[in-house]
Structure 1
Amino acid sequence: MVVINLDPYPSPRPRFTRQGRPYMPKEYTAWKKKFLKEWLTYGLDKFDAGVALKVELIFFIKPPLAISKVKKNKQALEDETIIVVKKPDLDNLEKSVLDSINGHAYEDDNQISELSSKKRYSLNPRVEIEIREDI
């Protein structure tokens, strides 16, 4: 399991220039570069093209003050058991991570045959990712 100590960041919709060319916001591209840099520090080998992959993702998101200030939530936040049922959308979080490591962890994200993910509140925001061959 790889732990990336960055706040999870959802993939936004592309923006368009006046000429109609699409681009992604600077904050998003900067986050993807940071994520990839952290990923590369693990020195993991890239999966070969054509290998089916199983990916498990856990997004630990900083809780809003309304949750973190409540005393009865203290233990649940430490145990990281409070489920996030608000934005950001899980599919956008998945996309940002998978796009960040595309071409580095695997040849192309079309190799992913199974994907599971969840999001939880935590006082220690991060992304945990595990990639293995899907047999």
Structure 2
Amino acid sequence: MLELNFTIKGEPTGKGRVRFFGGHAVTPKKTRTYEAQIRYEASHAVEHMVEQPDFSAPCSVRISAFYQIPASYTKKKRMQIAEHGCSVVRPGKPDLDNVIKSVLDGMNGIVFSDDVQVVRLSAEKFWCEGDETPRVDVRVKWEEV
């Protein structure tokens, strides 16, 4: 089973809601920029694969989003997170489903022909530990057909 792993550096960003202006759909600039960064990281990772997969085959995707602890958090909250590590679930925005949408849309046409090929999906949100930087780790496994 072929596997691809890559990291998208920076704070995880959810897909923004499309707005309509004069009958035209406009995707927010922040979403377009983030998806371009995903396309760059994904294509770079695919180029460095030793063996190329069948990009039309079904695949499974695992997404792990790591967020910076806000400076506004109290010392008590920070100690709780430090005590339990990154396993403490990170609640709040952006919604995990919107982060998934950004990542899958950013990989369309690069990692798979279309995200309809994703047959298994798992995603989690975590706090960064210590001096870790915010990021999204992505793992794609292609099913053998």
- Give the TM-score, by structure 1 length: 0.85
Match status 1:109 vs 2:139: no
Match status 1:84 vs 2:90: yes
The one-character-per-residue Cα deviations of 1:99-118 (angstroms, maximum 9, x if unpaired) are 00100000110000110000
The one-character-per-residue Cα deviations of 1:37-74 (angstroms, maximum 9, x if unpaired) are 1222222446422x111111100012222437445246
- Which residue does the alignment assign to 1:98? 104
- Which residue does the alignment assign to 2:138? 129
Distance in 2 between the 1:68 and 1:111 partners? 43
Distance in 2 between the 1:117 and 1:31 partners? 18
- Which residue does the alignment assign to 1:54? 60
Contact 1:46–1:106, Cα closer than 8 Å, also in 2? no
Q: Which runs of 5+ in 1 are unaligned?
A: none
Count of residues paired in the alignment: 132
Q: Which runs of 5+ in 2 are unaligned?
A: none
Distance in 1 between the 2:108 and 2:25 partners? 20
Identity of aligned residues (%): 27
- Give the TM-score, by structure 2 length: 0.80
Instruction: Classify the secondary structure of the residue corresponding to 1:67.
Output: coil
Match status 1:72 vs 2:79: yes
Distance in 1 between the 2:69 and 2:137 partners? 17
Letter matched to residue 95 of structure 1: K
Q: CA RMSD in A?
A: 2.1
